[in-house]
Amino acid sequence: MAKKIREVIVVEGRYDKNALSQVVDATIVTLNGFAVFNNKEKLEFLRRLAEKQGLIVLTDSDGAGFVLRNYLKGALPKDRVKQAYIPDIRGKERRKRTPGKEGKLGVEGMTPAVLLDALRRAGATFEDESASSGGEPLTKADLYALGLSGGPDSAAKRRRLLKRLDLPEHLNANGLLEAASLLYDRETFLKLAASEDEKTMDFR
């Protein structure tokens, strides 16, 4: 039975919408790819939906997906938009003859369990489920202290951690901060990042 979600979910195209509609009972709006850049009416519609119900942006984990995601971040009210991330999984969708440019599965290629997990971790409001309580927030200073931003090896260290946490490799420091704040409480994330640091030291 499909899970009912309060927020409106924004995806790239109709195949993503078809896959997601098998999993959740929610309003799903398609961007039609980069066409949204020149569609002021669609953008205004998304703003109205964001103000009324809240939005969840769920794009592919490739570079094109992040271009769309970043565009929406700048165009929509930040406090009314949640970001859902699918993991980097190699492969191709069944309807396609060849894999995409980066060889990763998109939203349409994800299993129902992965899609639900991505939405849940983004903070989607599921009917009859209470939202998780927040604790002390993770900050940019925490990432700096962990060597995940602002240092000469930060990008490489961040990529290793993203891979271990099953998050898209294209996330920059701000993206990691946003995703980690959604997925983990501060204490849990600090432990995960510290354990990654210890593994690197052991490897050396």
Residue 131 in contact with residue 39, Cβ under 8 Å? no
Which CA distances in Å does 142 have to 76, 86, 136, 169? 27, 24, 12, 20
Per-residue confidence (pLDDT) for residue 142, from 0 to 100: 94
Architecture of domain 3-122: 3-Layer(aba) Sandwich (3.40)
Residue 144 in contact with residue 150, Cβ under 8 Å? yes
Which CA distances in Å does 168 have to 104, 198, 202, 204? 10, 22, 25, 25
- Indicate the pTM of the whole model: 0.71
Which residues pair with residue 11 across a beta bridge?
30
Which CA distances in Å does 27 have to 20, 40, 54, 126? 10, 20, 11, 13
Annotated domain spans of the chain = 3-122, 140-203
Q: Average pLDDT per run of 10 along the chain, which is 204 residues long?
A: 91 96 95 92 93 95 94 95 94 84 92 95 81 70 94 92 85 87 85 72 40
Query: What is the rounded distance in angstroms from the CA atom of residue 203 to the CA atom of residue 197?
Result: 10
